[in-house]
Every structure is written in structure tokens, then in C-alpha cells.
Amino acid sequence: MNKGVWPVNRDDLTDLNAFVAVAEEKSFTRAATRLGTSQPALSNTVRRLEARLGVRLLTRTTRSVTLTPAGEEFLKGLKPAFEAINLSLETIGSLRESPKGKIRITAPRHAAISLLWPMLGSFVKDYPDIEVDVNIDAAARDLTGDRFDAGIRLGELVAQNMVAVRIGPDLRLAIVASPGYVAQRGVPITPHDLLQHTCINFRLPASGELYAWQFKRAEQEVKIRVPGQLSFNDPDMTLAAALGGHGIACLIEDHAHAMIRDGRLVRFLEDWCPLFPGYHIYYPTQKNNSAAFRILIDRLRFRSR
């Protein structure tokens, strides 16, 4: 053995993995949760590693954990090695008769309830060794930074550098109000008439800006920023406000379908609301497709009937 080479054993790999987790999470608490251990035990593990290396890897304060210059260089060398190990483990795992692994997905509530959950019920029964962790969040998430395997978004919102697989039909917006509101204020005939009405705004979760209502008929496109006292970042609250007679709402059609059908909501401007791309599951182009991940994507894939 060459002089100065550090022989690596199983305990060393455990210590190195602990350091990588703390460095990525920038928190002993979050890293301990990720590794399934206690914060004191994890802290002792990292101190042991630093003592053996003879160099300080992390700077700890009561509020934060940051990498020292030595820690940054060490992490830079370790990450490719651990990524290679994970790739090998996933590759060998794909050869198992029963696929195994954990898949983390972020999705807006509407997509999770209407598309993801109907599939998951049978999926987890068919593949008991696959864990699926679903995070309900309407805002776009950094898949790599937040350690998600995939996300679900409307097709037009998926970044071009992502692989996108369609999982649902085209959708349409519905402009609706309660019969009581219509009786008092009348019905808008064109999108511009909305400027004379009280509307219920929707605040976009990602940007925090109010959604500009978009319409199209033939070749004519219109974008309207509507007036109104109320705004929400949740479609259920928007729907409740519309049912309560507080104004005109813009919702995804199937979110309001039952209320339109039974007369609790009146729909208008339907000819100005064309179809648009529905939900897609997306993931980075460099994502390693384990057997478990490929099976889940295939189960979700939209197949027109």
C-alpha cells in the first residue's frame, strides 16, 4: 500500500456519508432526520471524522452550519463518488424481481387528488417494496436541491430542460359565479366586461403575483387583470368564495364541474376558454431511471381512450 493512502472501511463510509448529509442539508437536525439517527450521534460522527482527518470541515454556530474551505473541497471530491455508489445500487436494484426504492414527488393538490392518488392505491399494493413520498405544494420546487425525484405541473409550466410525460387529459378554465351574484350584477358577455364586475383573484404560489385571466377565441387572445376585494392562493378557497356569492371566479373546469351541473354555479364566457395542456410528471434529463421509477412513470402515463 502506498504511503499516505487512507484505507477505507465500512465505518469510514458511514462517517463520510454523515458529512455529506450535513453539508447538503446545512443543518445537523435535518441531516439526522434524513439519515434516521439522532442529532448528538451525528455531531459526534462528524467530529470523529474531523479528528481523524486532522482538519476542520464545518463551521458550527447556534443558527447555521457552513462548510470551511477544506470542507468545500472535500465535499466536491466526495459527491461524485457517492453518486456513483448510488447509481450502482439503483442499477443492481433494478435487477431484482421485486423493484425496491423510494420515490419522492411534489405535486399541486388538484393533480395529487385527481390523478396521482387514484393510481397510488393499486400501485403500493402491487409493489410493496416501493415507497412513495408525496409532497403537496402548488409552487414549483427545485427537484435536485429539494431531493425530489419528480414533480407534477401543468404542461405549459414545465421547463424545457426537463423530461415531461403527460399523465392527464387537456384541461379548460371555467368562469363561474353564484346565481345570486348573477341576479344582482348580470352576466359578462366578453372578457373585458369583467372589469365592471367583482372578481375573486388567484395569487400564484410561485411568484406571489395575481394571475392574469387569459382568454382566447379563434385568433383573438385577451389577458385581463380583474378587480376584486378577495384573492387566494388556494382553489378551494376561491371556489368557496364564488359559492358564497362574493364574485366571479376562474377555476379549472373539473374543479367546479359538480357545482355547475347542479346549478350552484353559473358558467359564462365558455367560448373564450379553449383547452390547454393538462398535467405532466417531469424530472431532470440526467435522472437515473431505476426500475421502481420507470414503473411509476408508466402507471401514470396518460392513455387516451
The β-bridge partners of 222 are: 215
Q: Are 248 and 175 in contact (CB under 8 A)?
A: yes
Count Cα atoms within 13 angstroms, Cβ side, for 231. 14
Picking from 254, 250, 138, the residue whose alpha carbon sits closest to that of residue 200 is 250
CATH 3.40.190.10-classified regions of the chain: 101-170+278-300
Q: What is the pLDDT of residues 188-230, one digit of tens each?
A: 999 999 999 999 999 987 778 899 999 999 889 999 999 999 9
Question: Of all residues in the chain, what percent carry a pLDDT higher than 70?
Answer: 91
Count Cα atoms within 13 angstroms, Cβ side, for 71. 21
CATH 3.40.190.290-classified regions of the chain: 171-276
Fold of 10-93: Arc Repressor Mutant, subunit A (1.10.10)
Please determine, for residue 52, whether its predicted confidence score (pLDDT) is greater than 80.
Answer: yes
Q: How far apart are CA 31 and CA 29, in angstroms?
A: 5
Q: What is the pLDDT of residues 109-149, one digit of tens each?
A: 999 999 999 999 999 999 998 999 999 987 777 787 788 89
Q: How far apart are CA 210 and CA 212, in angstroms?
A: 6
Q: How far apart are CA 177 and CA 243, in angstroms?
A: 7
pTM: 0.65
Tell me which amino acid residue 168 is: G
CATH of domain 101-170+278-300: 3.40.190.10
Q: What are phi and psi of 108, to 5 degrees?
A: -70, 155
Distances in Å between the Cα of 127 and the Cα atoms of 88, 103, 281, 296 are: 21, 12, 20, 10
Question: Of all residues in the chain, what percent carry a pLDDT higher than 90?
Answer: 46
Residue 155, all three cell numbers = 404542461
CATH 1.10.10.10-classified regions of the chain: 10-93
For the segment(s) 171-276, the CATH number from 3.30.420.40, 1.10.3720.10, 3.40.190.290, 3.90.1150.10 is: 3.40.190.290
DSSP states of 133-176 as a string? EEEE-SS---TTTTT-SEEEEEGGGS-TTEEEEE-S--EEEEEE
DSSP-derived letter for residue 286 is: T
Residue showing cell 403575483: 209
Please determine, for residue 1, whether its predicted confidence score (pLDDT) is greater than 80.
Answer: no
Q: What is the pLDDT of residues 68-124, one digit of tens each?
A: 999 899 888 888 887 777 777 666 665 555 678 899 999 999 999 999 999 999 999
Q: What are phi and psi of 58, to 5 degrees?
A: -130, 145
